[in-house]
Structure 1
Amino acid sequence: MKDRSAMRLARLQQALAGGGTLPLGEAAQMCGVSEMTIRRDVAASDGAMMLLGGRLVMANHYAPVYDLDQQQDSHALAKRRLCEQAARFIEDGDTLFIDCGTTLLPLAGMLARGSQLTVVTYALNVANAVSLVPSVRLVLLGGLYHTTSHSFGSDDMSAAIKRLGINRAFISAAGVHAERGVSCFHFHEVAPKQAAIACAAQRLLVVDESKIGQIRPAYFAKLDDFDVVITDGDMAPSPENGGPRIVAA
């Protein structure tokens, strides 16, 4: 039995060798066993693989836990510099999509008082900060509240975002990889991120250097889906007529 388990684990590791994730159901079908058997195999393994949100991932590609309080303190000065650069793109009258997490939280405090802006967000911490700027109109997208990321998720959130005229979408990420694309920790964030990217007139990715080269469980975009990348990390300038513009913070 142990030999069969080892063979299944080896097959799954081979399937995940290039990165990304594998749904538990597909893993079970691939190995010709039940999902419970795959769960037991992974639990009894050496920790090379792990289950996140019903998906198998290679443990060395992912951080095991997303801690919002820890992220809040991490690279705080860098995040403020990134948001200072991001704020320069905002024009009076814009409708802005501001993503969840901690990277873009300082941006809420940089919105000019008296300006005619609308902010769309599904993040409670961002909404709380924006609510302190009286002249800014706030659209908070609701649904099921996820404590881990202080954000909401719902089945109809994408449709709600696409009904809005968004001038600029400021998107955060937990991982930016040259081959594996842009990713985050939580699968409920994928739909609103993709909807904002699809309908915004300008798409801006804002990431500090700790995210560069990382792969997280939930893929949501290619790097080329963005018009601008604002970062303090080491990213090669995009080629002319292709790829996003790189703005150093």
Structure 2
Amino acid sequence: MNSRSAARLQWLQDTLRAEGMLPIAEAAQRCQVSEMTIRRDIAASQDTIVSLGGRLLLAEHPQVATGYDFATQQDSFAQAKQRMCEEAARMVEADDTIFVDCGTTLIPLFAKLDPDLPLTVVTYALNVANAIEQLALPHVRLVLLGGLYYPVSQSFGGEELVTAIRRLGINKAFISAAGVRVDKGVSCFHFHEVVPKQVALETAVQRILIADESKLDRVRPAFFAELEAFDVMLTSGAAGETLRDTLATRADRAWPTVKVL
């Protein structure tokens, strides 16, 4: 990032703290640059600023960050996460290479695995790596993909991470989401998570979506896949049953197999 871009970014952050929201067109006019230049500045902001519907907001703004606090998410729907991870563990086979993305949903998975199962785990999430290290699973080979660190989700991002995923042979990709809707697809809170999730979906032989009932019928800022990009979906509760029944009545697309746990 050059000095002019850094100065604009600082001005945008200060202005958004003072005003709350700013249309991209107005930001470009006030900075005397094009809207494309503003969008490039935002792309380099390390997720501190996001664009929603042509408006700029700080990532910490309630309209963007509602519901995402890492510590809170660890305790949210904990029993449902345990059940979903038990089912996910049953899907893992000896000598698999599995991709596990960031967030808290998949952390219980590793305690459910057979400790004698030889396995390679690929992740870009520090909390996932820490969970594996704490369990000291003797037959698990951990591949932690590095890059620029994002404390908000305890995960890494960057082009080198994407290149590394494409070089790996992944049997199963376990992907979590913060929003799932039949008509709007699958989404998450943080834009830096989008490309790693998409590349894992492209690479993996089998794609498994894991999202508890609180994530259903919701749309989050960062879209990353249509629902039919997945082979299997693990979910929970009455909302999960409704989704499963809805997809059963629609033969227009190749929907995932939905398991409600």
Indicate the TM-score class for this superposition, using the shorter chain for normalisation.
0.7 to 0.9
- What is the rounded CA distance, in whole Å, between the counterparts of 2:132 and 2:140 in structure 1? 7
- What is the rounded CA distance, in whole Å, between the counterparts of 2:230 and 2:127 in structure 1? 24
**Under a length normalisation based on structure 1, what TM-score does the superposition of the two structures give?**
0.77
| Structure with more relative contact order (C-alpha pairs < 8 Å, separation 6 or more) | 1
Structure 2 gap ranges (5+): 1-21, 33-46, 56-60
- What is the rounded CA distance, in whole Å, between the counterparts of 2:148 and 2:162 in structure 1? 14
Pair 1:56–1:135, CA change in 2 (3 A): same
- What is the rounded CA distance, in whole Å, between the counterparts of 1:60 and 1:129 in structure 2? 30
Q: Does 1:243 align with 2:255?
A: yes
State the partner residue of 2:192. 188
- What is the rounded CA distance, in whole Å, between the counterparts of 2:31 and 2:254 in structure 1? 43
CA RMSD of aligned residues (A): 2.6
Structure 1 gap ranges (5+): 1-23, 37-50
State the partner residue of 1:28. 25
- What is the rounded CA distance, in whole Å, between the counterparts of 2:216 and 2:66 in structure 1? 17
Task: Pick one of 164, 173, 183 that aligns with 2:168.
Answer: 164
Amino acid at match of 2:244: A
- Cα deviation for residue 54 of structure 1 reads 3.1
Q: Deviations over 1:27-73 (max 9, x none)?
A: 418x984469xxxxxxxxxxxxxx97331258997543621000001
Paired residues, number? 211
- What is the rounded CA distance, in whole Å, between the counterparts of 1:202 and 1:213 in structure 2? 24
State the partner residue of 2:224. 220
- Cα deviation for residue 214 of structure 1 reads 0.8
Pair 1:35–1:67, CA change in 2 (3 A): farther
State the partner residue of 1:130. 132
- What is the rounded CA distance, in whole Å, between the counterparts of 2:29 and 2:139 in structure 1? 58
- What is the rounded CA distance, in whole Å, between the counterparts of 2:104 and 2:203 in structure 1? 23
* Percent pairwise identity: 52
DSSP 3-state at the match of 1:235 = helix
Amino acid at match of 2:123: T
Q: Does 1:54 align with 2:50?
A: yes
State the partner residue of 1:203. 207
State the partner residue of 1:68. 70
- What is the rounded CA distance, in whole Å, between the counterparts of 1:209 and 1:248 in structure 2? 9
State the partner residue of 2:90. 88
| Structure with the higher helix share, 1 or 2 | 2
Instruction: Assess if the C-alpha contact under 8 Å between 1:52 and 1:217 holds in 2.
Output: no
DSSP 3-state at the match of 1:156 = helix
State the partner residue of 1:20. none
1:114-129 mapped onto 2 (5 Å cutoff): 114-129=116-131
- What is the rounded CA distance, in whole Å, between the counterparts of 1:79 and 1:65 in structure 2? 17
